[in-house]
Every structure is written in C-alpha cells, then in structure tokens.
C-alpha cells in the first residue's frame, strides 16, 4: 500500500506538466485567419448547362458528373489531432489509475469516524466527472470525421452545389475551435486533479485518521 501511495503522489505532482501554458501558446493553436485552415478539394466543378438544355425533360439522358480523384483529409487539422489525441488518452488513463487507487483505499464501512471515507468518495466523484468529460472529447473527434466525410461525399456527388464545398470548410474551421477548447480544458482538468488530490492526500490515504471533514 505504501508503494501505491508513492506512485500516485508522484502522478499528482506531475499532473500539471504535460499541458503547460506554452502548449496553448503554440502557433498551431493560435490561428487568427481560419481560412488558412482550409484544405483544397480536388472536386471538379462542372460547366453550367447551355441555355438550350435548360428545358430538357427527365426522360433525356443526363450528362455524367465529373469523377473525383483521391480526396485526402485536412492535413492541418490532422496534425492538430495528432497532438491532442495522445493527451486525451493520457488524461483518461490517469483518471482510471487514480479511481482504481482510491477505490482500493476505501476501508470497510464501520460505525463512527467515516468522515475520511466521505472525502474519498467526493474525490472519486470529481475524478469520474473529469473522465466523463474527456471521453466526450473522443466522441467529438470521431464525430468530426463522420460529419466531414458526409460533407465531402455530398460535395463530390453534387458537384454543382457550392454550399456542400463550403460545408466542408466550415466543419474544418469549427473543429479547430473545438480542439483549442479541448487543450484549454485538459490543462484545467490537470490543475483540478492536482489540487484536489494533493490537498486531500492525507485523507485519501488514511481516511480514518481525521476526526472532522474539511475537504479543500
């Protein structure tokens, strides 16, 4: 049990290190011109139909839509995702580690002096809340690929509809803001976990040693 305490205390001391202020201040997370995030869409734009064809009936054979080539993802967004996704996974794993550690420290319920146990449970509640929010980040990332893929598919199918092309760019710009917010939230989560664990470490490790509940 002592070994577990040492490992977790070290984890707590390092909790605020992976995401520092300098990480948020990197140029890649401080783009002011969102148009610079746009990726080229290699989707041919068809010529407008001649006036003589405007009154064609549905029975007449339609002209084939120009075929598209390979359509890669947005390299700038993918580069940001390569930075953010490992941090999301790391924080989730740290939350699981802390939750498991505290659960093993909760003593058997007995009569009297369960104040420390109440603090353990409160810390667990906060850590679980952070874990849930981090898992939502993973859902947001997956949703980006799904929504962008749908927009690209529509743009490549309905090549004459410019709004579908704009939708692809709008999705890229939107996810940039979401990723930047994720980084700021991850930093705040690390600070919160560090504070709550370090401030209540004695009560977490030895819940029966305190007579009064005084959670920070």
Higher pLDDT, 22 or 166: 166
In a domain, 83, yes or no: yes
Overall average pLDDT of the 61-73 stretch: 62
How far from chain centre, in Å, is Cα 212? 38
How confident is residue 46, by pLDDT bands cut at 50, 70 and 90? low
In a domain, 28, yes or no: no
Domain coverage including residue 85? 1-11+74-216
3-state secondary structure string, 90-133? HHHHHHHHHHHHHHHHCCCCCCCCCHHHHHHHHHHHHHHHHHHH
Overall average pLDDT of the 48-74 stretch: 58
Q: 148-191 pLDDT, tens per residue?
A: 999 999 988 888 888 988 999 999 999 999 999 999 999 999 99
In a domain, 143, yes or no: yes
In a domain, 67, yes or no: no
In a domain, 48, yes or no: no
CA atoms within 13 A on the CB side of 9: 13
In a domain, 34, yes or no: no
Q: 89-118 pLDDT, tens per residue?
A: 999 999 999 999 999 888 876 656 677 888
Domain holding 177: CATH number? 1.20.120.180
How confident is residue 26, by pLDDT bands cut at 50, 70 and 90? low
In a domain, 23, yes or no: no
Q: How far is CA 158 from CA 64, 68, 108, 151, in A?
A: 11, 11, 65, 10
Residue 213 has pLDDT above 90, yes or no: no
Q: In percent, how much of the chain has pLDDT > 90? A: 44
How far from chain centre, in Å, is Cα 16? 18
How high is the mean pLDDT of the chain?
A: 77
- Residue 43: CB partners within 8 Å, gap ≥ 6? 68, 71, 155, 156, 159, 165
Higher pLDDT, 182 or 60: 182
Provide the domain count of the chain.
1
How confident is residue 124, by pLDDT bands cut at 50, 70 and 90? very high
Q: In the prediction, which pLDDT does 21 show?
A: 40
Cα(139)–Cα(124) distance, integer angstroms = 23
In a domain, 177, yes or no: yes
Cα(86)–Cα(205) distance, integer angstroms = 30
Residue 192 has pLDDT above 90, yes or no: yes
Q: 126-150 pLDDT, tens per residue?
A: 999 999 999 999 999 999 999 999 9
Query: Which residue reads 């929504």 in tokens?
Result: 147
């Amino acid at each position: 049990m002592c070994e577990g305490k040492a490992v977790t205390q070290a984890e707590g001391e390092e909790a605020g290190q992976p995401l520092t202020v300098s990480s948020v201040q990197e140029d890649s997370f401080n783009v002011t011109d969102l148009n610079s995030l746009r990726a080229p869409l290699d989707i041919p734009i068809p010529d407008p139909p001649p006036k003589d064809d405007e009154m064609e009936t549905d029975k007449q054979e339609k002209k084939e839509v120009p075929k598209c080539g390979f359509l890669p993802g947005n390299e700038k967004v993918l580069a940001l995702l390569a930075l953010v996704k490992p941090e999301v996974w790391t924080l989730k794993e740290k939350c699981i580690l802390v939750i498991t550690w505290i659960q093993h420290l909760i003593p058997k319920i007995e009569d009297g002096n369960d104040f420390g146990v109440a603090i353990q449970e409160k810390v667990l509640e906060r850590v679980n809340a952070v874990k849930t929010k981090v898992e939502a980040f993973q859902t947001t990332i997956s949703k980006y690929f799904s929504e962008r893929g749908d927009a690209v598919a529509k743009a490549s199918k309905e090549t004459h509809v410019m709004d579908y092309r704009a939708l692809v760019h709008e999705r890229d710009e939107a996810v940039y803001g979401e990723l930047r917010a994720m980084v700021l939230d991850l930093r705040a989560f690390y600070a919160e976990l560090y504070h709550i664990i370090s401030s209540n470490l004695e009560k977490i490790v030895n819940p029966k040693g305190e007579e009064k509940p005084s959670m920070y």
